[in-house]
């Protein structure tokens, strides 16, 4: 182990240990007591009389996964693939999917590995959460559904998967919609600190570096995720029913292992798996996105503050539009569905489709 890695491990374990000394999750910022929605659980905050919709799910197999996904729109439509983040699920797109389907697009919304009805087929396959695995899963899904190219759109983990494919397999990506811009991780620089105003919101990532954090996610996954929903999107007034609809996805048997590996790998504190090493080597150079892109920032994002496009400009060498979305937090597609759907449709409509 290099001295740099040892120093990073000591620093991050110390930070995680300070989180772990909290006696209960309720002592974490914006604690559980403050995270209970004020809207009755049976109500949609936009329309109290409207029942919540749940997205129907199909299954398709790849070499490694049995992937659960929602499909909407005509089978012959131009495909748009929508990818969710952590700790969320396919219902981030419960309003985006029908908006796009109504315009004639074929809309695919998969559960990522470790979520919902997606299963890793073999007990011998590593429960990897690293970025290379997410990108490879997306390509495998496209192959299984006979989709040679698509508009790829997402946020958080899903935005990262979309960025990976857009960067290393541009022939498969007509256009990219990514919340928070360029999301491929520079693992070699994982020890570089972020501004303190950002670091505090990442407490859970440091918590997950410890065995207490691993056990805490196993025991308290729904409570922990509920805190993140509130902190990540402080102006979003979701109901308990909306949360529970998505929280069922966290009961996946691979959820904890995939999540823990994801956050340990991205901070340089867990190795990647040999199965994904070839792709991870390509990502180590943080390759640019060459396809047309629309990047979105929520002005009410509680995790990653909204920016202009300058900091990540060098990572987008193709046409790129950057937009700031008022009153939207980290789960931007569910909080501002029209803005997200409009970005997807714009790229699909103007894309240079080869098939």
Domain holding 288: CATH number? 3.40.50.1820
Cα 79 to Cα 157, 184, 236, 292, distances in angstroms = 20, 23, 29, 16
Whether 168 maps to a domain, the answer reads yes
pLDDT above 70 for 10 = no
Q: How confident is the model at residue 154 (pLDDT cuts 50, 70, 90)?
A: very high
CB 69, CB 100: distance < 8 Å: no
Residues in the chain: 355
Q: What is the pLDDT of residue 2?
A: 47
What is d(CA 134, CA 179) in angstroms, rounded to the nearest whole number? 16
pLDDT above 50 for 343 = yes
Whether 43 maps to a domain, the answer reads yes
How does pLDDT run across 197-229, given as a tens digit for each residue?
Answer: 999 999 999 999 999 999 999 999 999 999 999
Residue 325: which domain range? 3-350
Whether 355 maps to a domain, the answer reads no
Q: Which tokens in the block code for residue 218?
A: 């196993």
Query: What is the pTM assigned to this prediction?
Result: 0.89
Domain count for the chain, please give it: 1
How does pLDDT run across 36-59, given as a tens digit for each residue?
Answer: 333 333 345 556 556 899 999 999
Whether 46 maps to a domain, the answer reads yes
Whether 109 maps to a domain, the answer reads yes
Q: What is the pLDDT of residue 8?
A: 47
How does pLDDT run across 106-119, given as a tens digit for each residue?
Answer: 999 999 999 999 99
Whether 55 maps to a domain, the answer reads yes
The helix (H) or strand (E) run that includes residue 110 is strand 106-110
Mean pLDDT of the chain: 90
Q: Which tokens in the block code for residue 51?
A: 């029942």
Residue 47 DSSP one-character state: B
Whether 176 maps to a domain, the answer reads yes
Whether 199 maps to a domain, the answer reads yes
Which of 13-17, 132-136, 191-195 has the lowest average pLDDT?
13-17
Q: How confident is the model at residue 16 (pLDDT cuts 50, 70, 90)?
A: very low
């Amino acid at each position: 182990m290099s001295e740099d890695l040892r120093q990073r491990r000591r620093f991050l374990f110390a930070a995680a240990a300070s989180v772990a000394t909290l006696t209960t999750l309720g002592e974490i910022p914006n604690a559980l007591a403050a995270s209970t929605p004020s809207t009755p659980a049976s109500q949609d905050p936009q329309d109290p009389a409207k029942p919540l919709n749940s997205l129907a799910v199909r299954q398709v197999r790849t070499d490694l996964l049995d992937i659960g996904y929602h499909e909407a729109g005509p089978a012959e439509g131009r495909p748009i693939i929508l990818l969710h983040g952590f700790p969320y699920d396919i219902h981030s797109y419960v309003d985006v999917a029908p908006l796009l389907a109504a315009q004639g697009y074929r809309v695919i919304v998969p559960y990522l590995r470790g979520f919902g009805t997606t299963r890793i087929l073999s007990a011998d396959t590593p429960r990897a959460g690293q970025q290379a695995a997410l990108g490879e899963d997306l390509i495998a899904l496209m192959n299984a559904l006979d989709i040679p190219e698509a508009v790829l759109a997402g946020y958080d983990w899903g935005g990262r998967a979309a960025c990976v494919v857009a960067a290393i397999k541009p022939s498969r990506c007509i256009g990219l919609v990514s919340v928070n811009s360029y999301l491929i991780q520079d693992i070699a620089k994982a020890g570089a600190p972020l501004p303190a105003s950002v670091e505090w919101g990442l407490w859970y990532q440091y918590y997950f570096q410890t065995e207490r954090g691993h056990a805490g996610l196993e025991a308290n996954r729904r409570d922990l995720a509920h805190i993140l929903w509130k902190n990540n999107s402080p102006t979003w007034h979701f109901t308990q029913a909306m949360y529970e609809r998505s929280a069922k996805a966290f009961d996946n048997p691979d959820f904890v292992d995939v999540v823990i590996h994801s956050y340990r790998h991205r901070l340089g504190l867990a190795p990647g798996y040999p199965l994904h090493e070839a792709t991870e080597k390509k990502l180590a150079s943080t390759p640019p996105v060459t396809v047309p892109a629309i990047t979105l920032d929520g002005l009410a994002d509680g995790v990653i503050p909204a920016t202009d496009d300058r900091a990540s400009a060098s990572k987008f060498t193709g046409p790129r539009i950057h937009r700031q979305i008022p009153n939207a937090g980290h789960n931007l597609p569910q909080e501002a569905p029209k803005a997200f759907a409009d970005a997807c449709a714009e790229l699909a409509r103007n894309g240079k489709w080869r098939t």
